[in-house]
């Protein structure tokens, strides 16, 4: 029986372990901290609990004369803990039922075929390995001397312990984490300032879509500072002082640091394994294989973009490849990128700018959110859907959206994209009515049968 050893028990590692067991391998999963990974305990799950609370409150707004007061932070913290525990326990049960051996230890290479397992009790053991999958995730980046203290200087991990609502939050970083937490705090009525180093916020999104999100935040009273790289942030005792590189200072009660993440290879001793790493993360080919053919890397440790759906797709492909099974290359998978702000941002495949940059002749089809009855029913009519289509053969190349439930709309389109759908296929689509599927219909009406 083939042996597969997986290092890291986050979404990437757990998916790889379950897939390996399903395919008949003997599986060992090694996790240094808590099963479920940072996604469950520190980043994804806590943020999604906070955002789900905001979404539920916003959903009620159109029917209420007075907006509901924001929830008690203690209740939210308890919900974060409960969700993380439930998710971790579900994974533990699934692994145990699949026959995966879980070892709670830090794994470190001694040579390409030997791991040293370091237990919290202080003792260590050696493990000979046949095939290895690295799934050790990523760690947040902080500026030199700018470390969150969990009191006034916050980061995603500190949110699980936040005890008082900030009086004025300064968000540092215009990426995905910044967008989601700016949306959350501003929805909760916290005066919020949003600072980023680049000229635009959410730089990975389509410019038009990112601009729409920024306009929505501005309309909610968020104070924007683009082109404002931060040099320092200090806890002054009674608040925070954020100093920009140009010398300007901003004052608030709390600062939240979200300036990116980096692959976590710190404890693996990859030199001893002969595995190549760059600043982006462990170098992998289209099947997740590293410079050592028996060692694979998946999830955040294999570099950005950092999302669970991509990590899980990588996990399934790497396991199949490691077991010698037919495997499509990773480039054939088109993961959705989603930002769970209000309004949501989502995209899949090529953006309009990327398609033009590649020299493709394209057609851009659009629909506005208010073209769907469903948008009116739920009281959120702002937003836009864009479809990018190859003008020569009608193939869908990509889609992007900004709006309430935009992620669900793009999820449906990602399946169409993955299946190679053309405008003719989309024009024949008959989604349930009234749903936001109507937006796709509105975009393609007049283009098919
Ligand atoms: C605030 C925030 C919100 C996010 N929200 C979303 C979202 O909504 N949707 C989405 O798709 N993505 C989201 N992400 C990204 C997502 O969290 C990551 O892509 C995901 O955690 C990657 O999973 P992973 O398994 O690669 O790593 P991790 O979740 O980081 O897990 C890696 C595990 O490896 C363990 N480990 C490390 N080194 C060793 C070692 N030497 N030996 C043994 N174990 C080791 C660690 O303890 C950890 O448990 C979010 C990220 C942030 C910061
Ligand atoms: N919904 C999701 O899938 C989701 C949610 C949150 C986070 N994530 C992932 O987690 C990772 C980390 O998120 P993130 O938002 O921290 O990283 P990010 O890379 O998305 O954004 C970091 C931002 O900080 C800015 N920045 C960097 N240095 C700065 C400085 N000195 N001053 C001001 N701004 C500065 C950058 O220009 C960038 O806009 C990302 O890869 C993201 O994809 C995913």
Domain boundaries, the chain: 3-139+262-332, 153-257, 343-445
Q: Widest CA span of the chain, in angstroms?
A: 70
ipTM exceeds 0.95: yes
Ligand positioned closest to the Cα atom of 340? 2
Q: Which CATH number is correct for 3-139+262-332, 3.40.50.970, 1.10.3300.10, 3.30.70.580, 3.50.50.60? A: 3.50.50.60
More confident residue, 145 or 9: 9
pLDDT at 25: 98
Identify the band that residue 227 occupies on the pLDDT scale cut at 50, 70 and 90.
very high
Supply the pTM of this predicted model. 0.97
Q: Tokens representing 91? A: 């994974």
What's the average model confidence in pLDDT over 187-202? 97
pLDDT above 90 coverage of the chain, percent? 92
What's the pLDDT at 448?
64
| Mutation probe of ligand 2 site: the residue of 11, 157, 176 with most atoms within 8 A of C-beta | 176
Tens of pLDDT, residues 416-428: 999 999 999 999 9
Model confidence pLDDT, tens digit, residues 82-125 = 999 999 999 999 999 999 999 999 999 999 999 999 999 999 99
pLDDT recorded at residue 449: 55
Q: What would the two tokens of residue 264 be?
A: 């976590």
Q: Which residue has the tokens 């994974």?
A: 91
Residue 62 has pLDDT above 80, yes or no: no
Give Cβ neighbours of residue 76 (< 8 Å, ≥ 6 apart). 49, 50, 53
The pLDDT of residue 197: 98
Options 3.90.79.10, 3.90.76.10, 3.40.50.970, 3.30.390.30; CATH of 343-445 = 3.30.390.30
For residue 147, how far is its CA from the centre of ligand 2 (angstroms)? 16
Query: Which ligand number lies closest to the CA of residue 210?
Result: 2
Sheet hosting strand 192-195, strand order edge to edge: 153-154, 254-257, 169-172, 192-195, 223-225
CA distance 394 to 416: 13
Burial class, 427, CB count within 10 angstroms (exposed 0-12 / middle 13-18 / buried 19+): middle
pLDDT > 80? residue 431: yes
pLDDT band at residue 196, thresholds of 50, 70 and 90?
very high
The protein residue with its alpha carbon nearest to ligand 2, atom 19, reads 260
Confidence (pLDDT) at 273 = 98
Is the minimum distance from the CB of 178 to ligand 2 under 6 angstroms? Answer: yes
User: How far does residue 256's CA lie from ligand 1's centre (Å)?
Assistant: 19
Q: Cβ(290) to ligand 1 under 6 A? A: no
Mean pLDDT of 374-400: 96
CA distance 395 to 350: 12
pLDDT band at residue 314 using 50, 70 and 90 as cut-offs: very high
Q: Which ligand is nearest to the CA of 177?
A: 2
pLDDT band, very low/low/confident/very high, at 66 (cuts 50, 70, 90): confident
Task: Out of 198, 259, 336, give the residue to mutate to test ligand 2, the one with the largest number of ligand atoms within 8 Å of its CB.
Answer: 259
Q: Is 344 left (phi over 0), alpha (psi -120 to 50) or beta?
A: beta
Q: Is 106 in the pocket of ligand 1 (CB under 6 A)?
A: yes
Q: How many CB atoms lie within 10 A of CB 84?
A: 21
80 CA distance to ligand 1 middle (Å): 16
CATH code for the domain defined by 153-257: 3.50.50.60
pLDDT at 160: 83
pLDDT band at 438 (very low <50, low <70, confident <90, very high): very high
Q: What percentage of the chain carries pLDDT values higher than 70?
A: 100
What angle in degrees, to the nearest 10, is found between the helix axes of 73-97 and 11-22? 20
* Same fold for the pair 3-139+262-332 and 343-445: no
User: Quick one: pLDDT band at residue 147, thresholds 50, 70, 90?
Assistant: confident
Nearest by Cα to 336 from 440, 402, 395, 410:
410
Backbone CA torsion sign across 72, 76, 79, 85 = negative
Is pLDDT at 161 greater than 90 in this prediction?
Answer: no
- Give buried/exposed letters for 386-408 (b at 16+ CB in 10 A, else e): bbbbbeeebbbbbbbbbbbbbbe
Of residues 246, 252, 211, 208, the one with CA closest to residue 233: 252
Read off the pLDDT of each residue in 278-286 and give the average, rounded to a whole number: 96
Phi, psi dihedral angles at 176 (to 5 degrees):
-70, -45
């Amino acid at each position: 029986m083939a042996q597969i050893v997986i290092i890291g028990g986050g979404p990437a590692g757990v998916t790889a372990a379950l897939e390996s067991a399903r395919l008949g391998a003997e599986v060992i999963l090694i996790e240094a901290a808590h099963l479920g990974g940072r996604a469950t305990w520190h980043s994804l799950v806590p943020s999604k609990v906070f955002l789900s609370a905001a979404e539920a409150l916003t959903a009620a707004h159109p029917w209420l004369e007075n907006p509901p007061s924001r929830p008690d932070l203690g209740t939210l913290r308890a919900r974060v803990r409960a969700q993380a525990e439930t998710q971790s326990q579900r994974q533990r049960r699934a692994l145990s039922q699949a026959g995966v051996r879980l070892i709670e230890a830090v794994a470190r290479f001694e040579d390409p075929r030997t791991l040293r397992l370091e237990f919290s009790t202080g003792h260590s053991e050696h493990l000979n390995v046949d095939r290895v999958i690295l799934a050790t995730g990523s760690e947040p980046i902080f500026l030199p001397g700018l470390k969150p203290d969990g009191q006034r200087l916050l980061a995603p991990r500190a949110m699980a312990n936040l005890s008082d609502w900030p009086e004025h939050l300064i968000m540092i970083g215009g990426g995905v984490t910044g967008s989601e937490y700016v949306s959350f705090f501003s929805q909760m009525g916290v005066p919020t300032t949003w600072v980023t180093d680049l000229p635009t916020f959410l730089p990975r999104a389509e410019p038009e879509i990112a601009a729409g999100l920024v306009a929505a935040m501005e309309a909610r009273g968020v104070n924007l500072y683009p082109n404002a790289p931060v040099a320092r942030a200090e806890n002054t005792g009674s608040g925070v002082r954020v100093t920009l590189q140009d010398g300007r200072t901003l004052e608030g009660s709390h600062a939240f640091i979200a300036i990116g993440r980096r692959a976590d290879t710190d404890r693996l001793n990859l030199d001893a394994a002969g595995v190549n790493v760059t600043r982006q993360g462990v170098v992998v080919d289209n099947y997740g294989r590293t410079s050592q053919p028996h060692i694979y890397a998946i999830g955040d440790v294999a570099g950005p973009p950092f999302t669970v759906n991509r990590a899980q797709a990588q996990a399934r492909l790497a396991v199949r490849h490691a077991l010698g099974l037919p495997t499509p290359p990773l480039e054939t998978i088109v993961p959705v990128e989603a930002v769970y702000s209000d309004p949501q941002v989502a995209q899949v495949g090529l953006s309009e700018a990327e398609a033009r940059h590649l020299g493709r002749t394209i057609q851009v089809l659009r629909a506005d959110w208010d073209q769907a009855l469903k948008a009116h029913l739920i009281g959120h009519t702002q937003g836009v859907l864009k479809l990018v289509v190859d003008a020569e053969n009608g193939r869908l190349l990509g889609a992007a959206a900004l709006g309430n439930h935009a992620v669900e709309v793009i999820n449906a389109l990602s399946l169409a994209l993955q299946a190679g759908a053309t405008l003719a296929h989309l024009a024949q689509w008959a989604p349930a009515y009234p749903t936001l599927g109507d937006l796709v219909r509105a975009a393609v009406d007049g283009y098919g049968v």
